[in-house]
Amino acid sequence: MPYMASECQRKGKMVEDQKRKLLMVLALLLLPSSAQSGNTDRLTEHHCMDFQRASFLGGRKLKVQFLLFTSLSPSCGELISADDGIKNCGFNSSLETKIIIHGFRALGTKPSWIEGLVQAILHTRQVNVIAVDWVYGSTGAYPSAVENVTQLALAISQFISKLLALGVSGTSIHIIGVSLGAHVGGLVGHFHGGRLGRITALDPAGPKYTRASPEERLDPGDALFVEAIHTDADNFGIRIPVGHIDYFVNGGKDQPGCPRFISAGLLEQAGVNMSRLPQEVKVFLMTSPSAPFCVYHSLVEFQLQKKRNRVTSIEISFSSNSTKDTAKITIPKDQETGKRLLAHRVPLCQINSVTLKYIPKNLFWSKDEPSIVGKFCVAPLPLNSSRTMSCLPWSLTLPSKTDISYELPTACA
């Protein structure tokens, strides 16, 4: 389930106790001396608070906590109140504020990924990170958690109103909602007229929301910029676009290397132009099954010398000194060209050879051609004026079910 992505997240967890201490020391060294002394005193004034725990039978009542994490205390949550406690805590109104909202917690346990996400954000930049703890209201049966969504969104909205009264800019507020928490974030943004800066939805929940109206779920009107990352759309994640940009990782369904669920974090704008936003753009990308998960993408193309009256399948593999990555091109009936995105773990310039295999469609009553002739081309993505398709300078004859390898001379920039 997308909201129980503990094991997948734990595998990539990098922050240990010693690293946490080191980060805290580095943060202190980077601040002015006056800020160091004052904030150091604050670390000794408050006790570290953790998420609540609820039982499966007694978790229907909504009890909300707001836990503040800063660069000076990235592993120590400070309990802050929406009433009068904000002024007296370590919150810095001049910094951006990221509000993390978890989703459904069937067993009433703390979301194990919270700590890693908080640490990753604070390691990247100095911001206020506020984790919303609503474990009590998210525990038990899923429908009862859904019933608490509106009340929770109102509580968070009131909390944000307190921040705005302190002089915090609404555009500096970034809500990160996971699963059911994504729709909570959408309602919060709706209550603020869509004027908050940004909402990032990590695998927004599907049950009860796929057929809901935009007013009841996350939609592009809930913030100045709304993005969604879909990683479980075939199970508990929503299948429809809900943001300005929707990323469908590996098709948005099961993720390689994960037991059918995953949650990511998204820390930067990733080059999106904020001045002119697109409307409900679907973005598809791929990942590898092991860390660091990032891959390179190339467009591969095979052009038949002549059209065929049946579907043509060609398997293409990129090989380097240590990797081999494969994809299949399908050329439709009565067409000449087939294209496919091929994900590979090393840059294209480090690929030594490309292997092509023609896979005939031999049926009981019809035999396919023993070979095909055509041309192979490739281009690293994204394509621009300096990146165009490059082709092998000769026609290729591919016998059926036979691996044919060719050198792939591409220079590194």
Is residue 45 domain-resident?
A: yes
Residues 66, 85: one domain? yes
pLDDT band of 305, cuts 50, 70, 90: very high
Average pLDDT of the segment spanning 288-306? 87
Q: Let me know whether 25 and 107 are in one domain.
A: yes
Q: Which of 257, 285, 313 is the last residue of a domain?
A: 285
Global pTM value: 0.68
305 in the same domain as 224: no
Domain match, 281 and 316 both? no
- What average pLDDT is seen over the chain? 81
Residue 13 domain boundaries: 2-285
Picking from 236, 256, 285, the residue at the C-terminal end of a domain is 285
Residue 356 maps to a domain: yes
Among residues 221, 251, 285, the one where a domain terminates is 285
Q: Same structural domain for residues 325 and 238?
A: no
Same domain, residue pair 61 and 145:
yes
pLDDT band of 259, cuts 50, 70, 90: low
Do the domain assignments include residue 53?
Answer: yes
Peptide bond into 143 cis (omega under 30): no
> Rounded to a whole number, what is the largest CA-CA distance in the chain?
85
Note whether 16 and 126 are same-domain residues. yes
Instruction: Indicate whether 48 belongs to any domain.
Output: yes
CA-wise closest residue to 199 among 209, 189, 213, 190: 189
Residues 20 and 166 in one domain: yes
**Are 245 and 158 part of one and the same domain?**
yes
For residue 133, what are its two tokens?
A: 């703890």
**Does residue 412 belong to any structural domain of this protein?**
no
pLDDT band at residue 15, thresholds of 50, 70 and 90? very low
One domain for residues 309 and 199: no
Residue 290 lies in a domain: no
CB 71 within 8 A of CB 77: no
Does the residue 413 lie in any domain? Answer: no
For 212-226, 257-271, 302-316, which range has the lowest pLDDT when averaged over its residues?
257-271
Q: Do 139 and 265 have their domain in common?
A: yes
351 and 281 housed in the same domain: no
DSSP 350-403: G--EEEEEEE---BTTBPPPSEEEEEEEEEESSPBTTB--EE-SS-EEEEBT--
Q: Please state the domain count of the chain.
A: 2
What is the share, in percent, of the chain residues with pLDDT greater than 90?
49
Give the CATH number for residue 149: 3.40.50.1820
